[in-house]
């Protein structure tokens, strides 16, 4: 997973004739503004370095003019870098000769454009086969492949339509299909969804994510929309004024913004979209196991002043919840083992699911929500109060301490029995 496929080092792009002057000035540490004033040259991007791992979605995020499109176009040399190296799959592509570059573009990368960039004189199918046609693949073979990808992006039956007959979302599906048909390892997406209206944009984002699960491409995605970056990105690179400000996972970016610029961005974000259940959960305290009887349950509830308690088996897998009422009833019926009574079941959520999706359930449920991992082991609980607190804390100036605690891996929780189960009895 973490095998590097793209490695960019010291990437500089200067626009204008005689870029050497600007390079020397940059080496002396002069600012972009000074260089523009002295030499009339524009420094598009300055000293960018990052790596992209195989199979990840790497988002380059920045406002217009930040140089993000320039970075992307350097990766397939639509824009010729002024200095720096770009190693893709072991080859420094800045050194490629014209013919090798064409081959590289044909085989390694495929691009999706902001304004779709479909050829107006070609049908959907003819647009989709474009990359393979350039490679000289036979008509039969390329059309077979194209029909498959068109089906994949949900455009079956639209093969013979012209771009002017399609809606924006459909056009970009064709753009995506055209890129996918090429079967290149690396997908370069230049603000691919920015021209779509919000609903369609979300739909396309979801679709890209599900496609990515099937295909596992390496995607470099350019956007100016932080929500999009956080939703899609495995890692995000922040660009400002042609310089790299921060590279990190969505978590790192939102919890530890590198500087005020990033922090300002992050503040405006809809927090519930990035906070996962794991972020806002509390330690599951206390717990009882199936071996215990209703008496133990009642004693623990009394001890902690709560009205219900989670029941797990020996592997910590969630079995259910027992309430005070049920425990009393069981004790009066003479039952001594929790195996013999029917446990209540509250809502349950996987730890990596965004809290947003769980908000409604949490609001309506009387029982606390259980947070489980892949193996159904109970790793935390969510109560109404903790979600609200987490959302509130980030929407104001970010309280790092609080979040770190919320994000701490819930190991060794059993050892701290009795420390904070009080909130779970809402």
Site residues (CB under 8 A) for other proteins?
Answer: 73, 76, 78, 101-107, 109-111, 113-115, 117-122, 130-131, 133-135, 162-164, 182, 188
* Closest distance to other proteins from the beta carbon of 218 (Å): 16
Which of 118/390 has CB closer to other proteins?
Answer: 118
* Closest distance to other proteins from the beta carbon of 172 (Å): 13
* Closest distance to other proteins from the beta carbon of 80 (Å): 12
* Closest distance to other proteins from the beta carbon of 164 (Å): 4
Tell me the C-alpha distance between 33 and 42, whole Å: 8
Task: Write the DSSP assignment of 186-210 as a string of letters.
Answer: EEEEESTTTTS-HHHHHHHHHHHHH
Which residue in 423, 405, 413, 387 sits closest to 312, CA to CA? 413
CA 373 remoteness from chain centre: 19
Tell me the C-alpha distance between 185 and 179, whole Å: 10
- Strands of the 91-92 sheet, one edge to the other: 42-53, 4-15, 83-88, 91-92
DSSP state of 276: B
| H/E run at residue 132 | helix 130-135
Determine the Cα angle at 21 with ends 19 and 25, to 5°: 115
* Closest distance to other proteins from the beta carbon of 179 (Å): 9
H helices of 233-377, in order, are: 250-255, 260-267, 271-274, 277-280, 294-304, 324-332, 359-364
Which of 105/304 has CB closer to other proteins?
Answer: 105
* Closest distance to other proteins from the beta carbon of 410 (Å): 46
CA 163 remoteness from chain centre: 30
* Closest distance to other proteins from the beta carbon of 365 (Å): 50
**Burial of 358 per CB tally in 10 Å (0-12, 13-18, 19+):** buried
Which residue in 234, 228, 201 sits closest to 216, CA to CA? 234
* Closest distance to other proteins from the beta carbon of 150 (Å): 17
- Strands of the 218-223 sheet, one edge to the other: 109-112, 186-190, 218-223, 57-61, 235-240, 243-248
* Closest distance to other proteins from the beta carbon of 121 (Å): 4
Determine the Cα angle at 268 with ends 265 and 269, to 5°: 95
* Closest distance to other proteins from the beta carbon of 119 (Å): 6
Is the backbone of residue 216 left (phi > 0), alpha (psi -120 to 50) or beta?
Answer: left
Tokens of 59: 């988002």
């Amino acid at each position: 997973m973490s095998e590097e496929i793209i490695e960019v080092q010291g990437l500089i792009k200067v626009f204008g004739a005689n870029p050497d002057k600007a390079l020397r000035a940059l080496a002396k540490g002069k600012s972009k503004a000074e260089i523009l004033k002295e030499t009339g040259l524009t420094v598009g991007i300055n000293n960018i370095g990052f790596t992209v791992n195989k199979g990840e979605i790497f988002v380059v995020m920045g406002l217009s003019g930040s140089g993000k499109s320039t970075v992307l176009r350097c990766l397939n040399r639509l824009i010729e870098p002024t200095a720096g190296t770009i190693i893709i799959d072991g080859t420094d592509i800045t050194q490629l000769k014209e013919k090798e570059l064409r081959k590289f573009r044909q085989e390694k990368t495929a691009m999706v454009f902001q304004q779709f960039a479909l050829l107006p004189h070609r049908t959907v199918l003819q647009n989709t086969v474009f990359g393979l046609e350039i490679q000289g693949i036979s008509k039969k073979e390329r059309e077979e492949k194209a029909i498959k990808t068109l089906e994949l992006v949900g455009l079956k039956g639209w093969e013979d339509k012209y771009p002017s007959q399609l809606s924006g979302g459909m056009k970009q599906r064709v753009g995506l299909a055209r890129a996918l048909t090429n079967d290149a390892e690396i997908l370069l997406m230049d603000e691919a969804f920015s021209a779509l209206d919000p609903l369609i944009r979300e739909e396309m984002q979801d679709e890209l994510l599900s496609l990515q699960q099937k295909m596992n491409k390496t995607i470099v995605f350019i956007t100016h929309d932080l929500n999009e970056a956080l939703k899609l990105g495995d890692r995000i690179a922040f660009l400002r004024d042609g310089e790299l400000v921060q590279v990190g996972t969505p978590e790192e970016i939102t919890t530890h913004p590198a500087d005020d610029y990033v922090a300002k961005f992050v503040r405006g974000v809809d927090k519930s979209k990035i906070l996962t259940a794991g972020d806002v959960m509390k330690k599951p305290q206390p717990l009882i196991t199936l071996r215990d009887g209703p008496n133990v349950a009642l004693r623990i509830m009394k001890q902690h002043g709560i009205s219900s308690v989670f029941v797990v088996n020996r592997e910590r897998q969630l079995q259910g919840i027992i309430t005070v009422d049920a425990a009393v009833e069981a004790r009066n019926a003479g039952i001594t083992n929790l195996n013999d009574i029917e446990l209540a079941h509250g809502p349950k959520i996987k730890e990596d699911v965004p809290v947003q999706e769980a908000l409604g359930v949490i609001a309506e449920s009387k029982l606390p929500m259980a947070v489980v991992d892949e193996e159904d082991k109970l790793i935390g609980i969510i109560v109404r109060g903790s979600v609200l607190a987490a959302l509130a804390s980030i929407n104001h100036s970010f309280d790092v301490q609080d979040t770190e605690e919320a994000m701490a891996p819930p190991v060794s929780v059993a050892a701290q029995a009795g420390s904070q189960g009080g909130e779970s009895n809402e």
